[in-house]
Amino acid sequence: MSSRRARNVLSALAIAGLAVVAVVVAVAGAFLHRWRSPLGIVLAVGGAAGVAIIARACARSRAGSAVVALAWLGPTLALAQNAPGEDLVITGGEAGLVFLFGGSVSHAVALGLGVSSDRPPSVT
């Protein structure tokens, strides 16, 4: 296996692992954002931003960052829906909106910045 192919496989595995971590961070943030007034929101949005930054560093394209962003957004939006007979996890109050918008903006900024540019330019 060539080193380029090995790097692509490792990057894909890292993105798949980060997608799982993004789901865990989204569910934890959904329950954590109302914990203590400023601390819970900071931890929830900080976790989403941390996953976005790590995904940007590991991804070899914007598609990898988009996979992680969608993996975070899916459970977050699912927990914000009002299901019949169930409690609402992410409410439309101030803390819920800060969590939704803060996490979404952090992923959008990471996507807008693109992949890390610390790699040397390819000669070939």
Q: What is the pLDDT of residue 124?
A: 47
Greater confidence (51 vs 121) lies with: 51
Average pLDDT for the chain: 86
Res. 1: pLDDT tops 70: no
Q: What is the pLDDT of residue 73?
A: 95
43-74: per-residue pLDDT in tens? 999 999 999 999 888 887 888 889 999 999 99
Please state, in angstroms and rounded to a whole number, the distance separating the CA atoms of residues 44 and 42: 6
Mean pLDDT over 105-113 rounds to 91
Q: What tokens were used for 70?
A: 């969608």
When mean pLDDT is compared across 34-38, 40-44, 83-87, the lowest value belongs to 83-87
Confidence class for position 5, pLDDT limits 50, 70, 90: confident
Contacts of 72 (CB under 8 A, 6+ apart): 22, 23, 25, 26, 48, 51, 52, 103, 107
Res. 109: pLDDT tops 50: yes
Q: What is the pTM of this model?
A: 0.84
